Structure 1
């Protein structure tokens, strides 16, 4: 009788395990999906122009993390910027089809300036209307969205027991791009003495046998090695670096841009990859990411994921209009002040990793200060997340003017408002 009971109990456990009901522990998966268009496309980043060919292919790279309670989706796409409304549409479809709550779905863009437009322009049409006199390609948008949704569904099916490691690296592949003349005015150029963030944040996902599933590399750099003269579709430096690391690692790498609002690649604004020495970024940044990966000496499968969201309201520039499709991202107070509603996302991994993300082209001084005040030893800012609501500069940099000020909806107090709110969230303050 006891033998029969034991056999029954073992069979029941096996059945529950196979059905997915039993606890699974930490699991992860990655999927890489080609989103290079078949035909010519209007490119985003610089003036309106149409592609004539492909220099290197562009991708969605999708990671799914699952700790048994929370399932988190991180996407890195070789796209310049997109409207938050585009993210909202895809997030709504994802929730309907797969039941994934938007707070657990982060869609970050590498910010290459040589990729096709994706969906309607959003806020850029407010600042640069002449760039968007044409209609966006709805067919390309639908194909790219479907590939993303299908890729996430595929990754969920491929989840395997996993381990996670974290580390820091350093690369001098970037430079402050806010050059200032004797009159104090800022111009797009190079400022070797300006604020910069050269840290590389690295997260590695391994299988239980130690083989790599994926690498996530976080670094601040504009995707502007190639200038507006270039008409070839390209992932720019982030794409070249990701491809190089993948060849060396034998697994996909998600390039997640950081606070690159005032940070350029050290070679920037060239008409073609050869002139811009784009392949040199394999050494300048790719090898530094590989070195940071090697420095990760410990991984763990004891992982707890915790997500959160925060809506920060900060005043909008006086007399600045708005885009109707983004009406959910603004409101007017009883006193008649127009506000920008800025959504910020948070991911905490165990007690030592905190990641925050916002739909911003953020100046690095802000993320640097938040990182310095964070109680987490590994604090990363994932930029260009879930849309684009313009540049957010520090109060000091706004005084110097320049291009970034003209494409920002924010007042000088925005940086302090953001820093205060995010720091309080990370420090557990109300």
Structure 2
């Protein structure tokens, strides 16, 4: 197998609209803490098959933006469009990229479109750099754990489901690492996979940051060399053990924690297994004599498979125009309250109502006239490793089920791949309600449909 990695800076200008939170009081960023990156991995097999994976330090790219990013990579790296995967880390401490994130923000809106053009340009430069840097690699894998993730669907004292901390809820602490080692056994690329919303920083943070995935990448690269990509897992109902804090030191500290755990896992994960064999007839009185068994060449196959799954939609999504009118009404009230110097709590509440109405309006417009959403389930095989991703926020148990029934020993299940269409919960969680259930556009049974489709894609990769 051959692989190359490219990277480009996508740090925005200070003052760009930043709408990662419905209950924030600010509109725009006030500082950049660390750079945001786009990192592109391009791989090719001995038979000439190629594929590419992009890791982008943003919250969401919608279906159209993701398609454009895939097209840019395809052209720059000479990879067929359907063999390109684009994923975001789902970081909430970043600029607005689409309507559902920040249409309620009026200040400096003119900065968003030019910034997005610089992002697409950076994606192309990173892809071209990766294609030009291809060299032989061998794939090794390892699995560890990190305690960062906690189920976030808590029950409030009055019985409501809310985004918070539910330490008894379903969560997957698995930390998976994939190394693509050069001939010098130094990684050309390391892929880190973990499932946890990057929401250590909360609505009071006004700085653009790469959140904990950005720190993970920096720590792993400092330890191993090469470039690190972060693949976000099934974290729809999972957040960090410390969340919604304003101090930048918190995301750096927790990011370093999981970064060192990932680096340690990677240090144990070379493709070389160093299997020992006892030398017969050479034992001394005190010390046994061993020799290393030669390591076999790892699988170098690259395969890509996908399925477009029609996932049935709920029939109670509401009218997009009605939601848009509600959003405009709430927005006017929020700005009037802000101008009048109303208490932060009042401004926050009106902002929440505005943003949620905007999200429902966007959902209704995007799905208007459809009975089912065409969900792209895409899989990429890197030798002994399978990655399978979807453009939704999967709940943790769905991701674990797909992984545990996979025919591959190492399987990475990704959310936020190749677009975005809200949450996909388990049916078991639907009766509890809450934000994730309310905004999900899918009917009951969607979890089983997606799990089965992912299984079919993984079988096709095998």
1:427 deviation in Å?
3.9
Number of the residue aligned with 1:7: none
Number of the residue aligned with 2:390: 358
Instruction: Indicate the SS of the match to 1:50.
Output: coil
Distance change (3 Å), C-alpha of 1:141 and 1:96: same
1:324 deviation in Å?
11
Decide whether the 8 Å contact of 1:329 with 1:340 is kept in 2. Answer: no
Equivalent residue for 2:382, pick from 339, 346, 349: 349
Number of the residue aligned with 1:19: none
Q: Which moved more, 1:31-40 or 1:233-242?
A: 31-40
Number of the residue aligned with 1:382: 414
Instruction: Indicate the SS of the match to 2:247.
Output: coil
1:272 deviation in Å?
2.2
Number of the residue aligned with 1:241: 216
1:183 deviation in Å?
6.3
Cα displacement string for residues 285-318 of structure 1 (whole angstroms, at most 9, x for unaligned residues): 1121012112214254640000011111111121
Instruction: Indicate the SS of the match to 2:18.
Output: strand
Decide whether the 8 Å contact of 1:223 with 1:238 is kept in 2. Answer: yes
Decide whether the 8 Å contact of 2:31 with 2:207 is kept in 1. Answer: yes
Residue segments in structure 1 that go unaligned for 5+ positions in a row: 1-25
Distance change (3 Å), C-alpha of 1:404 and 1:282: closer
Q: Please list, as runs of the form range in 1=range in 2, the aligned pairs for 1:15-34 lying within 5 A after superposition.
A: 26-34=1-9
1:161 deviation in Å?
1.4
Cα displacement string for residues 178-223 of structure 1 (whole angstroms, at most 9, x for unaligned residues): 1124665311111111110111111101111212212100001111
Instruction: Indicate the SS of the match to 1:115.
Output: coil
Distance change (3 Å), C-alpha of 1:393 and 1:132: farther
Distance change (3 Å), C-alpha of 1:375 and 1:331: farther
Q: Which moved more, 1:32-41 or 1:361-370?
A: 32-41
Q: Is 2:340 the partner of 1:318?
A: no
Residue segments in structure 2 that go unaligned for 5+ positions in a row: 273-296, 321-359
Number of the residue aligned with 1:421: 453
Instruction: Indicate the SS of the match to 1:156.
Output: helix
Instruction: Indicate the SS of the match to 1:172.
Output: coil
Number of the residue aligned with 1:174: 149
Number of the residue aligned with 2:58: 79
Structure 2 Cα separation of the partners of residues 342 and 183 of structure 1 = 36
Q: Is 2:30 the partner of 1:55?
A: no
1:325 deviation in Å?
9.7
Distance change (3 Å), C-alpha of 1:361 and 1:154: same
Number of the residue aligned with 1:284: 257
Give every structure 1 segment of 4 or more consecutive aligned residues whose post-TM-superposition deviation is greater than 6 Å. 322-329
Decide whether the 8 Å contact of 2:201 with 2:244 is kept in 1. Answer: yes
Number of the residue aligned with 1:408: 440
Cα displacement string for residues 51-108 of structure 1 (whole angstroms, at most 9, x for unaligned residues): 0111111111111111142111111111011111101123234445554222211111
Cα displacement string for residues 135-157 of structure 1 (whole angstroms, at most 9, x for unaligned residues): 67111111110111111011101
Instruction: Indicate the SS of the match to 1:228.
Output: coil
Decide whether the 8 Å contact of 1:360 with 1:389 is kept in 2. Answer: yes
Q: Is 2:41 the partner of 1:66?
A: no
Instruction: Indicate the SS of the match to 1:108.
Output: strand
- TM-score, with length taken from structure 1: 0.84
Structure 1 Cα separation of the partners of residues 114 and 164 of structure 2 = 37
Distance change (3 Å), C-alpha of 1:207 and 1:96: closer
- TM-score, with length taken from structure 2: 0.79
Structure 2 Cα separation of the partners of residues 40 and 28 of structure 1 = 37
Number of the residue aligned with 1:218: 193
Distance change (3 Å), C-alpha of 1:331 and 1:215: same
Structure 2 Cα separation of the partners of residues 348 and 279 of structure 1 = 32
Distance change (3 Å), C-alpha of 1:173 and 1:203: same
Decide whether the 8 Å contact of 2:42 with 2:77 is kept in 1. Answer: no
Instruction: Indicate the SS of the match to 2:387.
Output: strand
Q: Which moved more, 1:409-418 or 1:256-265?
A: 409-418
Structure 1 Cα separation of the partners of residues 6 and 361 of structure 2 = 35
Q: Which moved more, 1:357-366 or 1:265-274?
A: 265-274
Q: Please list, as runs of the form range in 1=range in 2, the aligned pairs for 1:126-275 lying within 5 A after superposition.
A: 130=104, 134=109, 137-181=112-156, 185-274=160-249
Q: Is 2:85 the partner of 1:106?
A: yes
